[in-house]
């Protein structure tokens, strides 16, 4: 993400997991863990939306860890259809969280599905949950707390907006719809960052 980004390998459930750490200026507010899109469709910790989420958290004073799911980049193991990937995220949280420091989770697309399940396991322990273009059409995204922030493009060609609205409706969960935007927020990453900054204010 920048020259200060630190890359590290940690032990995960299926072998090493590759992590990228970014620290804010000054004392961090807590740890934010960001999950990337579908490993079999080119998703990595360097995805532009994932980096945008990380930048927003760093700007708001959070220490941020992005990581590659099993089988991606230098992470060992193989695709596990979303099950083991949740365990990967839990392992990253356990490794990097210091004591009971505040915890934030975020994810894009498939990563939002994973983050929703990690948040469900952690319960009230999650201070912020930010889901961008959650993969509601392809995976069973978990119910999320009322404070969760969900952002979806109006013209998402990968995950139809309607499927996310159908998922959110029984939870009475608001969805921030960005007009005219597709799944990858092409040309609108600054706006996405602004929305996340606003949510974290």
pLDDT tens digits for 78-131?
999 999 999 999 999 999 999 999 999 999 999 999 999 999 999 999 999 999
The lowest-confidence range among 3-7, 24-28, 52-56 is 3-7
* C-alpha distances in Å from residue 190, one per residue of 12, 51, 127, 147, 194: 33, 11, 24, 23, 6
Cβ-proximal residues to 3 (8 Å cutoff; 6+ apart), any chain: none
Choose which CATH entry (2.40.50.140, 3.20.20.70, 3.40.50.1820, 3.10.180.10) describes domain 6-200: 3.40.50.1820
Q: What is the pLDDT of residue 4?
A: 87
Q: What is the mean pLDDT of residues 43-66?
A: 98
Give the pLDDT score at 1. 65
* 3 pLDDT more than 90: no
pLDDT digits (tens, 9 = 90+) for 168-185: 999 999 999 999 999 999
127-171 pLDDT, tens digit per residue, is: 999 999 999 999 999 999 999 999 999 999 999 999 999 999 999
Give pLDDT, residue 20. Answer: 98
pLDDT exceeds 80 at position 2: no
Average pLDDT, the chain: 97
Cβ neighbours of residue 15 closer than 8 Å, sequence gap 6 or more:
70, 75, 76, 77
pLDDT of residue 18 exceeding 80, the answer is yes
The pTM of the full predicted model, rounded to 2 decimals, is 0.97
How far from 64 is each of 82, 108, 145, 157, CA to CA, in Å?
A: 22, 15, 21, 29
Q: Which two tokens stand for residue 71?
A: 């089988």
DSSP string, 40-88: GGT--TT-HHHHHHHHHHHHTT-EEEEEPPTTSTT--S---TTHHHHHH
């Amino acid at each position: 993400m920048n020259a200060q980004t630190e890359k590290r390998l940690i032990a995960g459930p299926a072998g090493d997991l590759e992590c990228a750490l970014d620290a804010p200026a000054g004392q961090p507010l807590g740890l934010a863990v960001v999950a990337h899109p579908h490993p079999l469709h080119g998703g990595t910790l360097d995805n532009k939306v994932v980096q945008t989420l990380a930048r927003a958290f760093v700007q708001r004073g959070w220490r941020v860890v992005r990581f590659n799911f099993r089988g991606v980049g230098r992470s060992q193991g193989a695709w596990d259809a979303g099950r083991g990937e949740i365990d990967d995220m839990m392992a990253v949280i356990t490794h990097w969280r210091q004591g009971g420091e505040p915890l934030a989770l975020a994810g894009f697309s498939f990563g939002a599905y994973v983050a929703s399940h990690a948040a469900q396991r952690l319960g009230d322990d999650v201070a912020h949950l930010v889901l961008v273009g959650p993969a509601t059409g392809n995976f069973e995204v978990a119910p999320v707390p009322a404070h969760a922030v969900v952002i979806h493009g109006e013209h998402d060609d990968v995950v139809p907006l309607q499927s996310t609205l159908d998922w959110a409706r029984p939870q009475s969960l608001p969805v921030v719809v960005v007009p005219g935007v597709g799944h990858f927020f092409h040309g609108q990453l600054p706006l996405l960052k602004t929305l996340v900054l606003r949510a974290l204010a």
